[in-house]
Chains A and B, each alone.
Chain A
Amino acid sequence: MSEVNTRQAAGAWRNAINAIVRHRVAATIGFLIIFPWLVPYHTLAINILIWGLFALGFNLLYGYAGLLSFGHAALLGVGSYGCGIVIVHWGWPWYVAILCGTAFASAVACVIGFLAIRTRGIYFSMVTLALAECVYYIFYKWESVTGGENGLRGINVSTINLAGFEINFLDPVNKYYVMLGVVAIALWLFSRILASPFGAVLETIRENDSRAAACGYNVANTKLMAFVLSGAFCGVAGALRALHLSTVPVEVMQISTSGDVVMMALLGGFGTFFGPFIGAAVFQLFGDALTLWTTHWQLYLGATFIVFVLFFPRGIWGSILHWLRVAKP
């Protein structure tokens, strides 16, 4: 009965949000299609698209499986390097490079995950942070392959051939929509995973891992798989970023990147499908606006972090869903 009342009170909003939640892939892609025309300039839209995908991959691990990684900078970075290295050193085509970045990030996620899942809770966050720092250091010093301190330069993809059409990849609008194609596939796969039986196991591990084990699920294996899958999505984001920037700055692997993605997921809402993109958009737009009038944007970033942890732990999208009491699909 109360459900009916709430629906009447919240009216059309609730129905609209409900529809978005039910058709989450279509709604997200639809939003991303019109998105470049909603922001000040197109390059910003590309950034948000990539960071949104990165936050989505992070969210698989924390939002759904409850594992708080502070080492995702390494996965994004390795995805970027994997994509960039095969283009710079071997001249492989861009779509193969994306797959290489994804595979490389998944492999590194497998190693980090294998060590990190041996610990639980807060320990997990500490171990992932430390291992990511190790990966950063190795790439920083491995100059012959990664370009070291200067980063990897010369990932030049100026035109791409798509089904017989030559597309000017330097044009931000073209670049955005090509990348959106990749992101759309990732979103669809992501949604399938969440809706699958495995997706259900992830949630049981977040909720109560000893109970999941008592049901017969191998918790360690499931966590490792979640880590590798998360690494794969972050790897795609990293690869796209390398194509976008034509370079891989080594700083991307620093701890602050891991913090940024946690922040974006927190802003949007942990454990929500659409949240990471909202978080990435707010983070980037906010950062972009702030840099116009202050060099101390980190101050405001930290303050926002604290305000959200204290007062809006559900994040923007998560709070909207909560206020309108939208049931999870």
Chain B
Amino acid sequence: MANFVVSGTPHVRSKESIQSIMRDVIIALIPATAAGIFFFGLPALILIAVSIIACVVFEWLYQTLLKKPVTISDLSAVVTGLLLAMNLPASAPIWVPIVGAAFAIIFAKQLFGGLGQNFINPALAGRAFLLASYPTEMTTWTAPVGFSGADAVTVATPLATLKTGVMPDATLQDVILGTNIGGCIGETCAIALIIGGIYLIAKHVISWKIPVIYILTVFVLTAAIGRDGLRQPVYEIFAGGLMLGAFFMATDYASSPVTPKGQVIFAIGCGIITTLIRIFGGYPEGVSYSILIMNLAVPLIERFTEPKIFGALPKVKEAKKA
């Protein structure tokens, strides 16, 4: 007689998988990636390709050498590689993404147990490592010359100009579209990032809470604190890496809170630290560090924001009893 399969319930599963989620993140990053290549030309394309390949190769290498199941097909290394490249200046030498990928994949991700176990965002960890180790390569910004063949002259980012107390030449339209401004490959075209973010929210890959509250917090605080003589909250939320960070980095599953209330606290925290670094800190931009710092607070936040269960009993007050 036939043997029948015996298994635990449920016997039907949704179609969604880790791979399909990662695929959605990649789809959501296509507009910003295309914009980055359009503005910064061939060097951007090469950096993106090298970064993705390096991340996948390091993951495969680590897992093969340690005789672990190889999980590169889940596409998470591709996402890390793409995000890492988005956080690099187009002028970075080709070895920069390779070093960054090694740190992101091996140190930030695999040593802690791989996908889902990393307590900080691997791409951001890679970027932070690069920024600390190679500050010159990581902060040399070039003008968006695209494929025109013109020499890419060095420029300051809008946020760096703001830091000096001067309103940048780039208009609000420029920082929304990414025209005429310097910056990381993937961060300059705010509108492309917003389109990708809306796609992720519509596909239920991420919740609206973290990006919207994060951006709102920066907006409100920038408006409230202001810089010396400059109060440009609308301009500031589109400039720099805020859109990239809010939609694609702060929402990283492994390093952000699972609980709905926790996500709100996390997003507010990111917003506060970002604004403080931007206005009072040594760096012109604070998105990466604010997310990394809040990543570290996630276990604590989750501990205090566990949702109320259905049919929760009223809390017994021990003190009163005694």
Chains A and B form a bound pair: no
